[in-house]
Chains A and B, each alone.
Chain A
Amino acid sequence: MGKTNKIYCLGIESTADDFGIGVSTLKGEILANASDSYIPETGGIHPREAARHHAQVASTVLKSALDSAGIKPKDLNIIAFSQGPGLGPSLRTGATVARALASYLNIPLVGVNHSVAHIEIGKLRTGARDPVTLYVSGGNTIVAAFDSGRYRVFGETLDIALGNCLDVFAREAGLKHQKGMPLGAAIEKLAMEGKTLVPLPYVVKGMDVSLSGLLTASTNVLNEGKCKLGDLCYSLQEYAFSMVTEVTERALAHTEKKEVLLTGGVAANKRLQSMIKVIAEEHEADFNVVPREFATDNGAMIAWTGALAYMHGLSTPIGESSVRLRWRIEKVDIPWIK
């Protein structure tokens, strides 16, 4: 009973360092959200090493996802995968797994835009319907809102992403990425000890932000060694988060929408949450933040967005399933929003 009536979409996420597989029904019940992350020994993500990691763990993660959903491969109806944007080698590994499964099971394949998926999972889990979204992660810093068939980008970074800015600074400060403790979380923890605001550059241009100068300046202060690391982490967060909050508020005032959604890996940061909450209150908008397990890259968001796309007649023939490294969010048609 039940199970046999349901339509299952399996979603594969592999845009960067996380390899995730989730299972969603067409109604948005998330039945599984398994993942395994590549943690570099030193430095940032090495694309080839990340891809090697993903290939190694793919079958284990797949099994774990199917087990927790309580289904067999033959029960699956749709295979969704993150087609872009992201790192080529990582994306190709996920796409290869997706193509193999779809061909073997002879079921439709759906290519999903990773950025759209972050917004859709946020909406699904918070109940937001038409928000201004601040999507902040290691690879993206985007303020987007829906208008006439697509998510339009109102603001974004002119250079590096917010998560990237925090990660690089953390590595400069000698912090190590550990399982369950990403670098951003390590900065957040240290920032709680900080009290003194160190002057740093604050760069807002129109509705865009620029973070590379902030990273350079913070790193310089760090290397001078005259400032407590806690104070510096605190100041970096205050400056960087104030900048993205300012542009989010501008998009909110501009679009006059009544909901704000905070999504992506950096959405887990409590200080950022508190700032976005303030602007939501000031504009009488509802504040929504994606739950932590769906904040970082995950397979469930791909499964759910794949299900949405499939229900609206979209699928991706294998011949058109090449990965799209720089697939911008505003290029994607969103037929499921009226």
Chain B
Amino acid sequence: MDKVTEPTLLKKGAEASLQVAIWNGRKVVFKTRLPKRYRHEKLDSDIRTYRTVHEPQLMNAAKKAGVPTPLVFQVDTKNSVITMEFIEGKLVKQLLGSLSATEREEMCIRIGETIGKLHAHGVIHGDLTTSNMIVNKEGRVFLVDFGLGEKNTELEAQGVDLHLMKRALQSTHYRFAEECFEAIAKGYSSAIGEDRSKEVMSKIKEIEKRGRYVEGRKDEAKN
């Protein structure tokens, strides 16, 4: 039997609840995808099972790419629970605003390198936000929350992934979204190579123009 202490709630997110406990002598997180009452039962259980199975696979693939992710200890598909290593550190979301401009640039370059490595190894995160990045004491950037990710090497998928990163910066860190994304692009380019990076960046422009109401999508009509 597993030896486990009474779990304490760390966070009730939109998709899953995170609980912390000591499990067989280690500090772990139980990530539970709870049923969503608004969704059709079958659709809901399919989505939760799919994400619970895929998330650890992608975390593993990320590790192989040299991207720090928590260790996965156990997967319970029946109850949609993943038991994983607890990472001591701070969310980039909390950290970013308190840094100096230079520190912020350095951190974003590191984030860009992390994403670049991931993409270079055919992994798409699917939800790149500053809430899904943890920086530990040594300054390593851990990526978490791969539930919306996929294995994909296509330009389109990489473009959308980075586009979402850009969008998250614009909605949450709008004061320095542009400079942060520039630094991310720099780090990304150093990890994935300049040529591929250029292709991805121009793909992002194309993706942005696909939205319904985006300036510059077609010629802006006069009058």
Contacts and interface: CB of A to CB of B under 8 A. Distances in A.
A81 B207 CA distance: 30
Nearest to A154: B171
B128 to A, nearest CB: 7
A75 B35 CA distance: 56
Interface string B137-168: 00000000000100000000000100010011
Interface in A206-254: 206-208, 238-239, 242, 245-246, 249-250, 252-254
A148 B15 CA distance: 27
Nearest to A144: B171
Given A202-B43, A242-B40, A252-B14, A159 B217 contact: no
Contacts of B214: 326, 328
A322 interface: yes
Interface in A187-206: 197, 202, 204-206
Given A206-B129, A326-B220, A249 B14 contact: yes
A252 B15 CA distance: 11
B170 A278 contact: no
Given A153-B171, A206-B126, A197 B40 contact: yes
Interface string B201-223: 00000010011111111001111
Contacts of B15: 246, 249-250
A325 interface: yes
Contact of A139 (B40, B167, B212): B212
A160 to B, nearest CB: 7
B47 interface: yes
A140 B213 contact: yes
A21 B223 CA distance: 21
Contact of A152 (B37, B44, B174): B174
Nearest to B12: A253
A274 B38 CA distance: 7
Contacts of A253: 12-14
Given A249-B14, A250-B15, A278-B37, A208 B167 contact: yes
Contacts of B148: 204-206
B3 interface: no
Contacts of B217: 326
A238 B43 contact: yes
Given A153-B171, A325-B220, A326-B215, A205 B42 contact: no
A88 B212 CA distance: 13
Contacts of A158: 160, 207, 210-211
Chain A, interface size category, equals: 35 or more
B55 interface: no
A195 to B, nearest CB: 11
A158 B210 CA distance: 7
Nearest to A242: B39
Contacts of A139: 212-213
Contacts of B170: 152-153, 330
Contact of B212 (A160, A245, A322): A160
Given A206-B126, A206-B148, A206-B167, A322 B213 contact: no
A11 interface: no
A328 B215 contact: yes
B57 interface: no
B19 interface: no
Nearest to A277: B38
B213 A254 contact: no
Contact of B223 (A152, A208, A323): A323
Contacts of B44: 242
Interface in A119-168: 139-140, 147-148, 152-154, 156-161
Contacts of A323: 221, 223
Nearest to A271: B38
A197 B47 CA distance: 14
A283 to B, nearest CB: 8
B113 interface: no
A208 B221 contact: no
A337 B23 CA distance: 48
A326 B38 contact: no
Given A202-B43, A245-B38, A157 B211 contact: yes
A254 B171 CA distance: 11
B92 to A, nearest CB: 14
The list of the 4 closest CB pairs from A to B, nearest first, reads A206-B164, A253-B14, A275-B38, A85-B213
Interface of B: 12-15, 36-40, 42-44, 47, 126-129, 131, 148, 160, 164, 167-168, 170-172, 174, 207, 210-217, 220-223
23 contacts: A84-B213, A92-B223, A148-B174, A152-B174, A153-B167, A158-B207, A159-B210, A205-B126, A205-B148, A206-B126, A206-B148, A206-B168, A238-B39, A238-B40, A254-B14, A275-B38, A279-B14, A282-B37, A323-B221, A325-B220, A326-B215, A328-B213, A330-B170
Given A147-B174, A254-B131, 15 more contacts: A140-B212, A152-B170, A153-B170, A153-B171, A158-B207, A159-B211, A197-B43, A205-B126, A205-B164, A206-B129, A253-B14, A282-B37, A325-B220, A326-B214, A328-B215
